[in-house]
Amino acid sequence: MKYYLTTPIYYVNAAPHIGTAYSTFVADFVKRFKRMQGFDPVVFTTGSDEHGQNVERAAKAIGKTPEEYATAIATEFVRQWKELGIDYDHFIRTSDPKHHETVRDLFERCQKNGYIYKGSYTGQYCFHDELYVNDAKPGDPCPDCGRTTETVTEENYFFKLSAFQQPLLKLYEENPKFIQPETRKNEIVSFVRGGLNDLSITRTSIKWGIPAPVEGAHVFYVWFDALISYMSAVKDENLWPADLHLIGKDILRFHAIYWPAFLMAGGLPLPKRVFAHGWILFEENKMSKSRGNVVRPLPIAAVTGADALRYFLMREITFGQDGSFSYDALIGRYNADLANGLGNLASRTLSMVHQYRKGVIPDSGGSGDIAQLAEKTVETTVEAFDEFEFSRGLETIWGFISIIDKFIVERAPWKLAKDEACVSLLDETLYTAAEALRITCALVYPAMPESAAKIWAQLGVVEPLDRVREAGLRWGQLTAGHKIGTVAPVFPRLDAKTSIEKMQRLEDEERERQAILLGKKPEAKTAPDATPAIGIEDFAKVDLRVGQVLSAERVKNSDKLLHLQVDIAEAKPRTIVAGIALAYEPEKLIGRKVVIVANLAPRKLKGITSQGMIVAASLEGGSPVLAGFLEDVPIGARLK
């Protein structure tokens, strides 16, 4: 049975970082695991999302055509995924003519079925997020990124998303695993229950896009274009529908609402499952270019190997939830789990087989207890991996590794070797350790393909690891007389201080290199836009006050908005809705002194009336940084 899975296709406005690498590592894991489960063929698509105003602008800024710019970044993704050992089958670029054809075909199907109509739209548009902001007035900021929206009037084609409320709810009900994890599914269900607006799916304001098969200069809106890449990649391969779309939680709505609706409208089969994982935070903060805390995978891989990074991310983070990355934690786990754990088990076991049995696997069935435990370990691990509980699966394997370690210590082969009467006990001990290592190696392969293959080669097994199926995980497959290979350390211990310094130095170099690739000067990132000068009387019109955050919570159905109560020494605290949720944990804001624009006309965001605005530095491409004070200031004080 086939298994077709995808990662998001990544925007070409940034090179890979550990966030995009995370989705890609997981997809690579799932591919290898599904193959082990016997699915055939297992096909994995990734790619680049190249159209849209942002790319058009970025390319122009550095004197390149959008095609040239997109090609440079797409090539960078391809190179880095290869270097990180990602075994994808298709890298689909939205600029690929084969993709254009699929997009037009879906549009025509939807049109034929009566789900497309022509309309005119005037609205506030955020060019950064490439979306219209509903209910916004000219000059209003984008509720997602805070940038000023621009008024745009266009004639576009609309997709009747509103017609799909009931079919979508039915889909979620009949296929409880269509959206995972469960909490995210509940968010989507309640969003859809709240009603769906039709969606404008073409633009005339953009040139860099796929021309729609209609009169006039319409190109497709980015999401109508991007999602379909999952189908274009496997055109004529008989692989559709996808079995799994792996994505981050930021783009779940597009995948769980728009995408199935587009397909239903076109009369095409729907993907089986959309799994939205959480955010990787860097030392508790969201990674962003403006904070300067983006972490890239290659500098890490150069020091620990790509496998250690994959292992760390999958072991440390419960899949589906947010989790943190830090260099310290990475090196800590590397030394504990890889150098001391798996690496030690491998070198100890194989060295003993060399030392006591001249590198030949002895004739024994191994310990019955351990054999039983191995079967149980395989069962639990496979079940966990199958449920996308990667961390639990890996934890189970490492539990097994530590039992084998203990077993070796208790049996003390170095003592048995000195006693003639213990020949068969020594045989049993060595067989047990070697067979346990073989099974462990096959089980960790989806997480650490390169390292597992090295240990596999040292075990001397000829069959390639990617051919091992579930039956190969059963106990007792190392045969007597089998000759093992040469032993070499797979995970040499790392010194934390020097390794971290090296990763940081390489990271600095990589950042510089990528800035050049993206045509940006690193310093230019934070340069404010030139604005016309104003007189003091204009500035005095803005009532800026010191406030203190009394409470903060996330706004329902929004990843980016926080609902705050801020005391500015008035009779009642102000309700303020701020687009800072990706940068600040609500709990951490309570008690913090902030700057509020107190005389801004009230404005409704997601049904909550915001009575003012919180002041923050808005840096290009990144999250906001709140203004604050170094000295203590009284609540309500005016800023002049």
* Residues of this chain that bind ligand MSP (CB under 6 A): 8-11, 19-20, 22-23, 49, 226-227, 247-248, 250-251, 279-280, 287
Cα 416 from Cα 423, distance rounded (Å) = 7
Closest separation between CB of residue 433 and ligand MSP, Å?
38
- Comparing C-alpha atoms, which of 124, 20, 141 is closest to residue 616? 141
Closest separation between CB of residue 168 and ligand MSP, Å?
18
Tokens describing residue 188: 């989507």
Cα 371 from Cα 374, distance rounded (Å) = 5
Closest separation between CB of residue 155 and ligand MSP, Å?
26
DSSP state of 548: E
State which residue, 15 or 555, has the beta carbon closest to ligand MSP: 15
Residues 2, 43 contacting (CB under 8 angstroms): yes
State which residue, 255 or 603, has the beta carbon closest to ligand MSP: 255
Closest separation between CB of residue 325 and ligand MSP, Å?
9
State which residue, 8 or 297, has the beta carbon closest to ligand MSP: 8
Tokens describing residue 214: 């209609």
Helix (H) or strand (E) holding 450: helix 449-459
CB atoms within 10 A of CB 72: 17
Tokens describing residue 184: 């995210």
Residues 130, 199 contacting (CB under 8 angstroms): no
Tokens describing residue 422: 């213990």
Cα 43 from Cα 34, distance rounded (Å) = 10
State which residue, 390 or 475, has the beta carbon closest to ligand MSP: 390
State which residue, 23 or 377, has the beta carbon closest to ligand MSP: 23
Closest separation between CB of residue 389 and ligand MSP, Å?
18
The pairs formed by 110-116 with CB atoms below 8 angstroms and a separation of 24 or more are 110/159, 110/262, 110/265, 110/266, 113/265, 113/266, 113/267, 114/160, 115/159, 115/160, 115/163, 115/265, 116/157, 116/158, 116/159, 116/160, 116/201
State which residue, 23 or 102, has the beta carbon closest to ligand MSP: 23
Closest separation between CB of residue 8 and ligand MSP, Å?
4
Tokens describing residue 368: 């019955």
Closest separation between CB of residue 351 and ligand MSP, Å?
40
Cα 437 from Cα 525, distance rounded (Å) = 50
Residue 335 φ/ψ region, left for φ over 0, alpha for ψ in the -120 to 50 degree band, beta for the rest: alpha
CB atoms within 10 A of CB 230: 27
Closest separation between CB of residue 322 and ligand MSP, Å?
8
Q: Which residue is nearest to ligand MSP (CB)?
A: 19
Closest separation between CB of residue 50 and ligand MSP, Å?
9
What's the sign of the alpha-carbon dihedral 515, 519, 524, 529? negative
State which residue, 19 or 143, has the beta carbon closest to ligand MSP: 19
State which residue, 10 or 319, has the beta carbon closest to ligand MSP: 10
State which residue, 22 or 398, has the beta carbon closest to ligand MSP: 22
Computed over its alpha carbons, how large is the radius of gyration of the chain? Answer: 28
Closest separation between CB of residue 279 and ligand MSP, Å?
4
Helix (H) or strand (E) holding 200: strand 199-200
Closest separation between CB of residue 314 and ligand MSP, Å?
13
State which residue, 53 or 364, has the beta carbon closest to ligand MSP: 53
Residues 212, 158 contacting (CB under 8 angstroms): no
Dihedrals φ, ψ of 638, to 5°? -90, 140
